[in-house]
Structure 1
Amino acid sequence: MSDLYWTIDSLVVKDNVMFGFGWIFHARYEIVSLRFRVMSAGRNVPEHIYADFGKSREDVGRSYLNHARAMNSGYVVFGALSDEKHPDSIVLECALADGSTIELSVPSSKIICFSNDYAKDKNRIVLRQAGTLLKRGLYLIRSGKISSFFDKVKRYLNGRPQTALQKPDAFVSLFELQEGQNLSVILDHNLGGGANQYRDRLVDTIISEGRSAIVLTYHVATLSHMVIVRNKRLNVRYSIPDITFLWQSLQQLSVKDIIYNTAVSFVKPDEIPQFLIRLKVLTSARLMVLAHDFYLVCPSHFLLDHDGKYCRIPEISVCDNCLPKNRYGFAALFTERDISKWRAIWGSLLAAADEIITFSNSTAQLLMKAYPQIESSQISIRPHEVAYLEDKVVRIRQTASLRIGVVGQIGFHKGAAFIQQLSREIKRREVDVNIVVIGSIEVSCEPSVVSQTGPYQYDQLASLIDASGANIILFPSIWPETFSYVVQELMYMDLPVASFNLGAPAERIASYSKGLVLASMDAASVLDELILFHSKIYLAH
């Protein structure tokens, strides 16, 4: 027990949903599983919500310099319980690589429980989370990372609701006469990444047409629905009680189109399709459904099964066994865990859509595999517009030895566990190969093999790759990504790029002159392939 270090920075339970974050590491053993065990009044059986762990915590690493695992000790927990009873007790269960499990009682002082009538408690949440982020920000300042500190502050403030709306009339009154006409309503998460980039450009287009955009999203940190209203005059964010509030508000406005971007992270996700269909019937608006991920197919929206492997959309009987045990993506928010019901609900949305848009042929094929009733003629395949990317060719200076670059925030679905295995294989062979992560990785890797730059801004990417000495870029994502801006950026930079034979990235890399679609996902075989690829690119002339 004395070898285990941990804390809970914030733990919030609203109705039946839990969100929290903190850090934990063991001095001698890797953590293999981390989950919260919840007991509620009137229940004889506990419920479990798994945490996503291994996230970068430089502040903790600095405080525990003698412990290598401290650097990747962060965790986040987000999931739903089966009912809305407040928990009687919460225990953190930490399973270690030696086969043991340590149980840690969560003090009641660390838990904030509330419901929709929660103004006072919401302020407590904001203050507690802000205090934690301030402590982490002070580390960045002391480390000389002033720009990173201000970037984190900006993202935190820009993401939060500015205030709350309680009555639909207050929402309607935001709009001047013409601003409430021909509205675009967009449903989207607020987690960042490619889907949000796409949404932001879409909103800019709507504003340029002189119209208003309403984005319905979900603010995970405060467990609240949020609307973002943007036009030439307004750029505001408000928390709202629930999606019914927006339904009531939009009855008094004029809606031209409804756009489903993604419902990932929304609580009660099974209510979303019916909400959008009812809105379409009410307004006679055009409904577009965009496939940025596979949430339309499964609550595990990266199509990872309960073992963390790409499932390839098997028979329903396999899904029936998998989904109740699945802890990946946002599966824990769908409490019924019934794949047949999930497909029926989301299939109704696809049937009601005026247009279904995917960004690659691969995604379209997978969507039709899950929903055989969809005809290919119903799907428009539109690769993302990337004209905004600049042609910044990176000049490779060091070519004698293989230096593998990995770009981005590398969590589990992006291949963190694979990079860990690859680093161990490199160390085992004692070959002259290194890995540099341009970004950060959410797992502890062999320090003699793997280095990382930390988070970066888009305009820094070319110079960071240049400075890193990387000469082969590996895109290690373990799910069939629907596009990948990162891969497109790397190709624009004229860099050699390798990926697994999955999804849209492999589609594009297969026809790229400096591309390699890997034949295997085994670390030893991939290392062999990358060594040969490096030789072919640089040493064969």
Structure 2
Amino acid sequence: MPEVFSCVESLVIKDGAVFGFGWIFHEQQEITALRLRLSLTKEKFSSVEHVAATMGKSREDVQEKFVGQARALHSGFVLLGAFPVAAQIDAIVLECSLADGSLVEIPVDNSSVVQFSSSAAGEKNKLMLRQFGVFLKRGVRLIRAGKLSSLVEKAGRYLKGRPRTALRGPGDLVAIFQEDERRDLSIIVDHDLGGGANHYRNRLVDAIIEEGRSAIVMTYHVPTLSHMLILWNKRVHLRYAIPDRQFFLEAVKQLSVSEIVYNTAVSFIKPDEIPQLLIGLKALTGAHLKILAHDYFLVCPSHFLLDYEGKYCHIPEASVCAKCLPKNQQGFATLFVERDIRKWRAIWGSLFAAADEIVAFSNNTAQLLIKAYPQLDRARVSITPHKVEHLTSGPVRVRNTDPLCIGVVGHIGFHKGAAFVQALAREIKDRDTNLKIVVIGSLEARSEPSVVSQTGAYQHDELAGMIERCGANVMLFPSICPETFSYVVQELIDLKLPVASFNFGAPAERLACYPNGLVLASMDPARVLDELISFHRKIYLSP
């Protein structure tokens, strides 16, 4: 009988939040959905909470262990969610839905679970040692397979992000700064997940340091479910865990702050408390409060604006949202325990009202903010497109002009269009053509190997050369959500390449004005393939 192979490598539970990772695959079937089921008891009442997992993560170590199992490579999963804080957990089960409609239930072994509270520093240290041990265990197989660089990259990313130690009292923060560094500080609230928002934040911090000032980034370290401060100036670059947000407010009382910047609060536990924190910081310091709309977390806990079915919702009436949000498992939606969209918008609307400056990076983003918050004065939202670091290589020389070869750039997860690329590859195979898809980066989905190839991770300055070498001649930006801005699309435009995207978000706004741009009329794989074939013919084969 075919088996499900799985391992929950780490599951952290702290103050009503849960974070975990591991791997799972079935010998013969695709896994269509994966979620954690928590059986809870609170004041003698029983309830069940579910936390959806993000699947399709690359696990080369699992592939090495299960040689010949095609589904092992993309077997990795990650999950993050929340549940009522005072509830007691009675049982934890991993629910695995298979393509044939059957459900497999896998009890989670207690040896994988670490539970602790904000005050338990010893447990936090034990957790970090355990998680690092998991990476080392994974690394043994990668070393045996001759993939040392992959191990170094994964372990380095984890070690770089963790806090060096914890601050014990509010005065500890003040003591780190020299007297002349305690004035004119900037506070930035931001996630620490990487990507465009962090890239923007790092450039912002660079500018602050260049002015001779200091920056404090309040962020959230997801692997340990801990609030963290990153301190930056010309002298220091340090990471410290802190117990909670109230601790931060107490510490800031002893500093002179001139600027507060909301970058994004995606991945923060209890995100509905962030607006009041920012308003409290402004009242405490009298600082200038700026909101940056890097995503749509300001609009909905499903910050990619994907509904419970995983489709772009276009921000419907609040009554539709009220039915969707309780069922929505997309992104970080489950971190808002109350699941009440009216309450969410009232809370974040108060932040808009308190802000001194609101910045969007495209007209489309501003329009969507106004759609969600009709009371927001459009004149208060300034449009400031991102500045992109231009590639020094100049335009890409496309040597392979025929047949069509579709290029996709980046780390393509679910919201970036992994399932669509997978479906497009099936369409190409079903038509029995010689067309190919090349992912310059990686794809979090098992795809047709005869159609799809992947280059793996790349450095920014390698992009042009990799596109030239892989033979891509039409670029597709397959994101299924309305991006507020896309560095990738802008870079492809700078390289003078033909680029196509779906008809929403900042990329479509930009491509509509680009001579070699195509705004797709459909999201159906067959129709999209027809559009791309016609686009390719127009670019390269028309007289």
Normalised-by-shorter TM-score class: over 0.9
Matched, 1:350 2:352: yes
Q: 1:5 to 1:195 in 2, by over 3 A?
A: same
Distance across 2 between alignment mates of 1:139 and 1:539: 48
Distance across 1 between alignment mates of 2:389 and 2:40: 53
Deviations 1:369-404 (A, max 9, x none): 000111221011000011454343221111121111
Give the CA deviation at 1:139: 4.3
Give the CA deviation at 1:86: 4.1
Matched, 1:95 2:105: no
Q: Secondary structure at the residue paired with 2:71?
A: helix
Matched, 1:448 2:416: no
Q: 1:392 to 1:69 in 2, by over 3 A?
A: farther
Give the CA deviation at 1:468: 1.2
Matched, 1:115 2:117: yes
Distance across 1 between alignment mates of 2:61 and 2:148: 14
Give the CA deviation at 1:47: 1.3
- More displaced 10-residue stretch of structure 1: 22-31 or 46-55: 46-55
Distance across 1 between alignment mates of 2:244 and 2:267: 14
* 1:98-177 matches, cutoff 5 A: 98-177=100-179
Give the CA deviation at 1:76: 0.4
Q: Secondary structure at the residue paired with 2:92?
A: strand
Match for residue 421 of structure 1 among 410, 420, 423: 423
Q: 1:149 to 1:461 in 2, by over 3 A?
A: farther
Q: Secondary structure at the residue paired with 1:307?
A: coil
| Number of aligned residues | 541
Matched AA of 1:178: D
Distance across 2 between alignment mates of 1:207 and 1:419: 41
Give the CA deviation at 1:453: 1.4
Give the CA deviation at 1:144: 4.3
Q: 1:461 to 1:138 in 2, by over 3 A?
A: farther
- More displaced 10-residue stretch of structure 1: 131-140 or 40-49: 131-140
Whether the 8 Å CA contact 1:32–1:96 is kept in 2: the answer is yes
- Normalization by structure 1: what TM-score? 0.98
Whether the 8 Å CA contact 1:17–1:79 is kept in 2: the answer is yes
Distance across 1 between alignment mates of 2:531 and 2:540: 14
Matched AA of 2:291: V
Q: Secondary structure at the residue paired with 1:68?
A: coil
Q: Which residue of 2 aligns with 1:179?
A: 181
Q: Which residue of 1 aligns with 2:39?
A: 39
Whether the 8 Å CA contact 2:31–2:96 is kept in 1: the answer is yes
Q: Which residue of 2 aligns with 1:235?
A: 237
Whether the 8 Å CA contact 2:390–2:491 is kept in 1: the answer is no
Q: Which residue of 1 aligns with 2:15?
A: 15
Matched AA of 2:526: A
* 1:18-417 matches, cutoff 5 A: 18-41=18-41, 42-417=44-419
Q: Secondary structure at the residue paired with 1:173?
A: helix
Whether the 8 Å CA contact 1:86–1:113 is kept in 2: the answer is no
Deviations 1:221-241 (A, max 9, x none): 010000000001111000000
Distance across 2 between alignment mates of 1:300 and 1:456: 29
Deviations 1:312-359 (A, max 9, x none): 000000000000000002110000000000000000001111010000
Matched AA of 1:300: S
Deviations 1:236-287 (A, max 9, x none): 0000001111100000100000000000000010110001001101111000
Deviations 1:55-81 (A, max 9, x none): 111221222231111111000010001
- More displaced 10-residue stretch of structure 1: 491-500 or 521-530: 491-500
Whether the 8 Å CA contact 1:187–1:216 is kept in 2: the answer is yes
Distance across 2 between alignment mates of 1:62 and 1:455: 20
Distance across 2 between alignment mates of 1:96 and 1:138: 31
Q: 1:389 to 1:464 in 2, by over 3 A?
A: closer
Q: 1:141 to 1:540 in 2, by over 3 A?
A: farther
Whether the 8 Å CA contact 2:276–2:351 is kept in 1: the answer is yes
Q: Secondary structure at the residue paired with 1:459?
A: helix
Give the CA deviation at 1:186: 0.1
Distance across 2 between alignment mates of 1:305 and 1:131: 37
Give the CA deviation at 1:83: 2.5
Deviations 1:144-175 (A, max 9, x none): 44444433333222211010112001111111
- More displaced 10-residue stretch of structure 1: 410-419 or 455-464: 455-464
Whether the 8 Å CA contact 1:482–1:504 is kept in 2: the answer is yes
Deviations 1:447-484 (A, max 9, x none): 11111112222222222222211111100001110001
Structure 2, unaligned stretches of length 5 or more?
Answer: none
Distance across 2 between alignment mates of 1:255 and 1:452: 46
Give the CA deviation at 1:143: 4.5
Distance across 1 between alignment mates of 2:315 and 2:40: 35
Give the CA deviation at 1:539: 1.4
Whether the 8 Å CA contact 1:267–1:333 is kept in 2: the answer is yes
Whether the 8 Å CA contact 1:15–1:85 is kept in 2: the answer is no
Percent identity, please. 61
- Normalization by structure 2: what TM-score? 0.97
Whether the 8 Å CA contact 1:15–1:86 is kept in 2: the answer is no
Q: Which residue of 2 aligns with 1:523?
A: 525
Distance across 2 between alignment mates of 1:36 and 1:501: 34
Give the CA deviation at 1:9: 1.1
Matched AA of 2:4: L
Q: Secondary structure at the residue paired with 2:518?
A: strand
- More displaced 10-residue stretch of structure 1: 94-103 or 462-471: 462-471
Structure 1, unaligned stretches of length 5 or more?
Answer: none
TM-align CA RMSD: 1.3
Deviations 1:88-126 (A, max 9, x none): 210111010101000011111111110012222212211
Q: 1:457 to 1:40 in 2, by over 3 A?
A: same
